Every structure is written in structure tokens, then in C-alpha cells.
């Protein structure tokens, strides 16, 4: 019963009740929504990150991260190469014949380096195709993880760049210059990783295990190595495979003159480094790198990428660009140069293309 003198309006009572119900609804709806949300899967906020920091979205690859892993893989493989050589447990054997009929050597260093490099790259980038010189035995799988750290020099020079994972092919050479490795000619030995995007080499890593020197470069990105500035196009120093020196020398001297210097050397990685400004006491210097026979793509892809990043060239002997898709071999020989007139060099050496098919 209302106090005396006060009449309760039916309309006022209705408004009061509705306000009360509104307050109760507001309180309980928020509480219930929170309770239900605890059982519902969460979704990222609009515009927020959908993957861990520093990682590319699913289906894509960050080339800066891939460069960092490639540098690490080359170094890890180099550790195995060095350990086996210094322990003198090579267990060298012939795995086949080259097209020239020479034995193609295989050592424990090749196999252990390959295992370490392959599984490190595969665990970091499982969606990327990896081509390696040596067979990967799945029964001998090794767990090698990457901690997602990127070296400071790469952070400073390279910006993140995402590309579709299906466009990427990685080429591994776990031990370049195996023949020289068995002969204990350590200066020629390298481990290499190359990344090609749509068949074009864009990342190259060349590591020298016995001096711990690593050269890396990314096309349209940056590098930790430079081209040399002093060249003589009239009488160039030409670096070639040890087994091809006599074959190239005759044609080269006829083309450039008797003062042309022929440098026999082992390993495609070493020969590319000879064209660059490398602070290595056991590294020779050359102006042009020529190979006159069939060569595998894992031997040359990393060097090709480094030269491209620095404005140089590596082509077949007829000047065609080398595609790093499809088969693992390059039939047309190669000529590599930097800061020189590459087209003019090719025009001066027409006879070497014929030699490459013999």
C-alpha cells in the first residue's frame, strides 16, 4: 500500500518495471556472452597478425628468412665437411663417371653435409622444393631445427619479401670440389645453397669450410661481398676447371692473345669467388670464368645468383640465361663475368660452344 497522499500511476509503474528489466538484461547478457565466449574458438582481430612474428603467411615464403637459413645451412654443412677431412675418414668411392670419363667421387663428407643441410632447410620450409646433389635417405633422417633468428648483417641489408612457396626451388651443393677434397686441396672446397624463384636465381650462398668465410647475396636485396674493380678485357685472366685447362687455353690464346693467363682451379664456387673482392689469402683472382662441358645446376646456381645480385652475368657459352627448373643439368657450358662487356666476351669465344658438346 502506498504512503498516504501519494498515488502510484499505472504508467509510471510500467516504465519503472521496464527500466529494471533492461538493467537486468544488460548485466546478465554480458555475463552469459563472456561465459559462452570461453567455449568458442578465437579468431584474429581484423588486420591483426595471423601467423607468428617474422613468419610469412601460409603458402608463401619470406626470402629474407630463407636467406638466413641458407647461410646457416651452408655453415652447418661446412662443419661436417671440415670434421671429416680433418679426421681423415673420407671413405671415398666412385659414384659414377663424368661425361669426360673421370671417376665422380663420393665421400662421407658429402653425405653428412648433405644430411645436415637438407633437413635444416626442409624443417624450416617444408613446402619448398629442395634439389640436392646427393641422395637423401629418409631412414637416416635428422631433426635439425631453426630458431628463427636472422643475423644482424642480413637484417640491416635485406628487407622481408614474400613469394609463393610453389615458385621456389632450392639447390644444395653439400660439397663442391669433391675431387680436390680427396686430394686435400682444401682451398677449392665450398658448400653452397641457391634459391631460385620461377627458375631465376635470386639468393646465393658460398661457404668455404676451412676458412669459415661465407659470401651471400640476394638479387634486388643486398650482399656481404663486392665485385673487384680492376679488370683487363684485352688480356683477361680466365679461370677454368683443372681438367679443361688445355682445352680452353688454345682457343683463349687465339682469341685474346698470348698474354692471356689461364688459371686451372677446382670447384665452381671457388671460381665464382675468384671474380669477386674476397679477403681470402688462398683465393686466386680472375676476370672470366669459363666451363666448356656439361655441368650440374647445383654447382653453378649459387654463383649465378651472387653475380646477378652484383650486376654480373653467368650464361651459356652462346649467351642464353640458365633456368633453374626442370632437369638438374646445364648442357651449354658457361661463361661468367662481372663489370665487363659480357656480350662482347661471348662474341669473342664462338668456338667454345662447339667444344662444350664434345
Angle between helix axes 108-124 and 63-87 (nearest 10 degrees) is 160
- DSSP-derived pairing of the beta strands 237-241 and 261-265: parallel
Q: 110: exposed, middle or buried (C-beta count within 10 Å: 0-12, 13-18, 19+)? A: buried
CATH number at 135 reads 3.30.540.10
Tell me if 203 sits within 8 A of 121, measured CB to CB.
Answer: no
Of 183, 206, 225, the residue that ends a domain is 225
For residues 328 and 208, give the distance between their C-alpha atoms in angstroms, rounded to a whole number.
Answer: 23
Task: Flag whether pLDDT at 306 surpasses 50.
Answer: yes
Active site residue 110: yes
* Domain total of the chain: 2
Do 175 and 65 reside in the same domain of the chain?
yes
Do 133 and 280 reside in the same domain of the chain?
no
Residue 199's pLDDT band, with cuts at 50, 70 and 90, is: very high
Q: Is residue 219 situated within a structural domain? A: yes
Do 234 and 134 reside in the same domain of the chain?
no
Do 285 and 237 reside in the same domain of the chain?
yes
Of 206, 225, 244, the residue that ends a domain is 225
For residues 187 and 172, give the distance between their C-alpha atoms in angstroms, rounded to a whole number.
Answer: 20
Do 218 and 325 reside in the same domain of the chain?
no
Do 217 and 319 reside in the same domain of the chain?
no
In the annotated binding site, the residues are: 133, 173, 175-176, 299
**Across 64-78, 132-146, 171-185, 313-327, least confident range:** 132-146
Do 133 and 263 reside in the same domain of the chain?
no
Q: Is residue 49 situated within a structural domain? A: no
Question: Among the options 110, 190, 315, 355, which is catalytic?
Answer: 110
Question: Among the options 107, 108, 169, 178, which is catalytic?
Answer: 178
For residues 251 and 258, give the distance between their C-alpha atoms in angstroms, rounded to a whole number.
Answer: 11
Q: Is residue 27 situated within a structural domain? A: no
Q: Is residue 21 situated within a structural domain? A: no
Expressed as residue numbers, the domain containing 250 is 227-354
Active site residue 178: yes
Do 93 and 125 reside in the same domain of the chain?
yes
Q: What is the pLDDT of residues 164-194, one digit of tens each?
A: 999 999 999 999 999 999 999 999 999 999 9
Task: Flag whether pLDDT at 136 surpasses 60.
Answer: yes
User: What is the pLDDT at residue 324?
Assistant: 97
In the annotated binding site for Mg(2+), the residues are: 133, 173, 175-176, 299
Q: What is the pLDDT of residues 281-297, one digit of tens each?
A: 889 999 999 998 899 99
Amino acid at each position: 500500500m502506498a504512503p498516504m497522499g501519494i498515488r502510484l500511476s499505472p504508467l509510471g509503474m510500467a516504465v519503472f518495471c521496464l527500466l529494471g528489466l533492461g538493467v537486468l538484461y544488460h548485466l546478465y547478457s554480458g555475463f552469459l556472452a563472456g561465459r559462452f565466449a570461453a567455449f568458442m574458438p578465437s579468431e584474429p582481430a581484423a588486420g591483426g597478425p595471423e601467423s607468428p612474428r617474422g613468419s610469412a603467411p601460409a603458402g608463401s615464403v619470406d626470402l629474407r628468412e630463407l636467406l638466413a637459413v641458407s647461410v646457416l645451412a651452408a655453415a652447418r654443412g661446412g662443419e661436417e665437411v671440415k670434421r671429416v677431412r680433418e679426421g681423415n675418414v673420407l671413405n671415398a668411392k666412385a659414384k659414377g663417371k663424368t661425361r669426360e670419363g673421370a671417376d665422380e667421387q663420393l665421400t662421407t663428407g658429402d653425405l653428412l653435409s648433405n644430411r645436415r643441410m637438407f633437413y635444416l632447410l626442409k624443417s624450416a620450409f617444408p613446402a619448398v622444393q629442395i634439389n640436392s646433389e646427393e641422395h637423401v635417405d629418409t631412414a637416416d633422417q635428422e631433426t635439425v631445427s631453426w630458431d628463427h633468428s636472422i643475423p644482424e648483417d642480413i637484417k640491416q641489408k635485406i628487407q622481408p619479401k614474400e613469394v609463393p612457396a610453389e615458385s621456389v626451388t632450392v639447390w644444395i651443393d653439400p660439397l663442391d670440389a669433391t675431387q680436390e677434397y680427396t686430394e686435400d686441396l682444401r682451398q677449392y672446397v665450398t658448400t653452397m645453397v641457391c634459391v631460385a624463384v620461377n627458375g631465376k636465381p635470386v639468393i646465393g650462398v658460398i661457404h668455404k669450410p676451412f676458412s669459415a668465410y661465407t659470401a651471400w647475396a640476394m638479387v634486388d636485396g643486398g650482399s656481404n661481398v663486392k665485385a673487384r674493380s680492376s679488370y683487363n678485357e684485352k688480356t683477361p685472366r680466365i679461370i677454368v676447371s683443372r681438367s679443361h685447362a688445355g682445352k680452353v687455353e688454345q682457343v683463349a690464346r687465339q682469341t685474346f692473345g698470348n698474354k692471356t693467363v689461364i688459371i686451372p682451379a677446382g670447384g665452381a664456387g671457388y671460381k665464382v669467388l675468384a671474380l669477386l673482392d674476397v679477403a681470402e689469402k688462398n683465393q686466386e683472382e680472375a676476370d672470366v670464368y669459363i666451363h666448356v662441358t656439361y655441368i650440374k645446376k647445383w654447382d653453378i646456381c649459387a654463383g649465378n645468383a651472387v653475380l646477378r645480385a652484383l650486376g654480373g652475368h653467368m650464361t651459356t657459352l652462346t649467351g642464353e640465361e640458365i633456368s633453374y627448373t626442370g632437369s638438374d643439368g646445364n648442357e651449354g657450358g658457361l661463361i661468367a663475368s662481372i663489370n665487363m662487356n659480357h656480350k662482347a666476351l661471348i662474341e669473342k669465344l664462338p668456338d667454345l660452344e662447339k667444344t662444350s658438346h664434345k
